Amino acid sequence: MKSAGALAGCKVVDLSRVLGGPYCTQILADHGAEVTKIEPPSGDETRGWGPPFLGDTASYFIGVNRNKRGMAVDLSQPAGQELVRTLLADADVLVENFKPGTLEKWGLDYDTLSAAFPRLVHCRISGFGADGPLGGLPGYDACAQAMCGLMSVNGDADGEATRVGLPVVDMVTGLNAAVGILLALNEREKSGLGQFVDMTLFDCAISLLHPHAANFFYSGKTPQRSGNAHPNIAPYETFETQTGPIFLAVGNNTQFAGLLRVLSAEHLGEDPRFVTNAERLKHRDALRAALGALLASKDAAVLADKLLRHGVPAAPVLTVPDILSHPHTAHRSMVMHEGDYHAVASPIKLSRTPASLRRLPPKLGEHNEG
């Protein structure tokens, strides 16, 4: 029997589109919240962000909209606005990512709604927030990566600033939004009142700047791109092997000694250039050359497994198909299938009330009636 989920009984009205909001509400829905997704009559634009498609719906939409009821509603019309108010009458949470000012125009802003529904937790996801020098302007993941410093530290040292190859800002904003909503719901148990959860891509992108912001605060030096190498640790980067790249993430002297034992290269540990992490950082190029010679003839997967079992963090660099078919992915139940539906499962594992699949992603307007 499927668990009803940790959030069973929690009602969420989801007016959001694209990624940050839908990712947030899918987290809540996976854990039992009753989420009603409201789309414009034309649909969430990501329904068309393909190929690939399943039927007439793009994989992009399918990936972040399971476990939700779906309705198509024109919020610019009084009847649509009244329907939302009806849904909010017994809702716990409203999630939206309209440009600040839009819901105000329709009488669905926080001040108006909180007066009518004082227990409502209202979460807005926006680019920059409603006020300040950039207040009200639209925000997008790639632009946030560019503006907030992420691109400046991503890429090869002699290459150009590079976007992270997935919408990390949108997704971490959605994750932070889910956390913020749960914090507000927890506080409501004491106060009896909802509150406004103000989430921005701008803030969340800046929050990802560890350790680069901390390094800047205490060194005064502008962080630079270093490819796969870590700015504070060595060896902590990819190395080539006979079968492909391996990532070594050697975070302390004990792990470094373990690496040398596995490679039968204990003599490197006696080299004064490599005795401490600070010295290894100073002599990173020499260390990389020495380790590269030892690794060139190895099998990446076999060596990574051996290193892990000796307490040394290491991993082969796998492709998306590789990891989705990996036996540990199956063991962790991180891929779900139902008929033609395939998706990455919830990573949040609860012992008594686990996440489950209760609804497939809705067709546009599927639940307008009933």
72-78 long-range contacts, CB within 8 A, separation 24+? 72/38, 72/39, 72/40, 72/41, 72/43, 72/364, 72/365, 72/368, 73/38, 73/39, 73/40, 73/41, 73/368, 74/40, 74/41, 75/15, 75/38, 75/40, 75/106, 75/108, 76/106
What Cα–Cα distance (Å) separates residue 324 from each residue in 60, 122, 263, 333? Answer: 17, 35, 30, 10
151, 144, 36, 185: CA torsion to nearest 10: 100
Cβ atoms 96, 125 nearer than 8 A: yes
- Alpha carbon 34 to its chain centroid, in Å, reads 22
DSSP 185-222: HHHHHHHS---EEEEEHHHHHHHT-TTHHHHHHHH-PP
Pairing of strands 53-54, 57-58: antiparallel
**CA nearest neighbour of 203 among 130, 309, 293:** 130
What Cα–Cα distance (Å) separates residue 107 from each residue in 77, 101, 114, 295, 349? Answer: 11, 10, 11, 64, 39
Backbone angles phi, psi at 163, to 5 degrees: -65, 140
Cβ atoms 202, 139 nearer than 8 A: yes
DSSP 232-263: S-SSEEEEEETTEEEEEE--SHHHHHHHHHHT
What tokens appear for 23 in the block? Answer: 């990712």
Q: Which of 170, 198, 203, 271 is catalytic?
A: 170
Taking the C-alpha atoms of residue 366 and residue 359, their distance in angstroms, rounded to an integer, is 12
Taking the C-alpha atoms of residue 191 and residue 264, their distance in angstroms, rounded to an integer, is 62
Question: Is there a catalytic annotation at residue 170?
Answer: yes
* Residue positions annotated with a catalytic role: 170
